[in-house]
């Protein structure tokens, strides 16, 4: 099956694009959703996190205390890499498992940090959702009620637009209205169906 890796900076509109593909019947496997699933109380990854970061990151009800863990890893690259080494293999394995269960020409892996954490090998094509930085900042401020300093920190932790676009096989420009987005998604859906058909014919 053809796997499209959908990515983009914060505030670019990835969720909206995922919904438009879903409305067309395209399966979307979301790394953020799976990231929550793999740290459920009965999952091995939670035990590994507890062992690596201590009891303090586990609530009294046995759930992961996300805010506490976030505060530990946010400004500590070593701790962040330690967490990624636990989470990323578990997330990748579950995404691939879900993809193997599908019977469709193509599916989408929605991975916000696809390029930053070097998960490019998981996908066949990279679709970047792109929007101007000032527009993204405005969306984040309105949606998440964040201060400018917090937004700056998030931007600093991600690739620039230019760095991300270098990796793009396909681009959706999200700087207009929903009709413009729908047109782009419809065009890409047709293209992906053709590519999937061609690769199936070639036996790939």
Dist CA 111 CA 181 (whole Å)? 19
CB atoms closer than 10 angstroms to residue 125: 17
Q: Would the pLDDT of 204 be above 60?
A: no
pLDDT at residue 199, as a whole number: 76
- Over residues 113-147, the pLDDT tens digits come to 899 888 999 999 999 999 999 999 999 988 888 88
Q: Which of 16-20, 120-124, 142-146, 192-196 has the lowest mean pLDDT?
A: 142-146
Contact indicator for 9, 115 with CB cutoff of 8 Å? no
Q: Which domains does the chain have, with CATH numbers?
A: 1-27+105-198 (3.40.50.300), 33-101 (no CATH)
Q: What's the predicted TM-score (pTM) here?
A: 0.88
The residues facing 28 across adjacent strands are: 108
Residue listed under structure tokens 């989470």: 87
Can you tell me whether residue 130 is helix, strand or coil? strand
Q: What is the pLDDT of residues 26-82, one digit of tens each?
A: 999 999 999 999 999 989 999 999 999 999 999 999 999 988 998 898 778 899 889
172 versus 113: the higher-pLDDT residue is 172
Q: Which residues contact 185 (CB under 8 A, 6 or more apart)?
A: 17, 20, 21, 24, 172
- pLDDT band for position 201 (cuts 50, 70, 90): low
């Amino acid at each position: 099956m053809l796997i499209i890796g959908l990515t983009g900076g914060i505030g670019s509109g990835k969720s909206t694009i995922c919904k438009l593909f879903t409305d067309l019947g395209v399966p979307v496997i979301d790394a953020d959703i799976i990231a929550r699933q793999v740290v459920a109380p009965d999952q091995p990854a939670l035990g590994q996190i507890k062992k690596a970061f201590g009891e303090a990151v586990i609530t009294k009800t046995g759930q992961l205390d996300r805010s506490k863990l976030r505060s530990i890893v946010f400004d500590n690259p070593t701790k962040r890499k330690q967490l990624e080494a636990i989470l990323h293999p578990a997330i990748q394995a579950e995404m691939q498992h879900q993809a193997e269960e599908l019977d469709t020409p193509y599916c989408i892996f929605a991975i916000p940090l696809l390029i930053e954490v070097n998960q490019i090998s998981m996908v066949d094509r990279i679709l970047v959702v792109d929007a101007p930085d000032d527009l993204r900042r405005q969306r984040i401020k309105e949606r998440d009620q964040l201060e400018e300093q917090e937004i700056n920190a998030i931007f600093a932790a991600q690739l620039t637009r230019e760095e991300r676009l270098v990796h793009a096989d396909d681009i959706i420009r999200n700087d207009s209205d929903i009709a413009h987005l729908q047109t782009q998604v419809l065009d890409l859906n047709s293209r992906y169906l053709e590519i999937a058909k061609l690769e199936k014919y070639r036996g790939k």
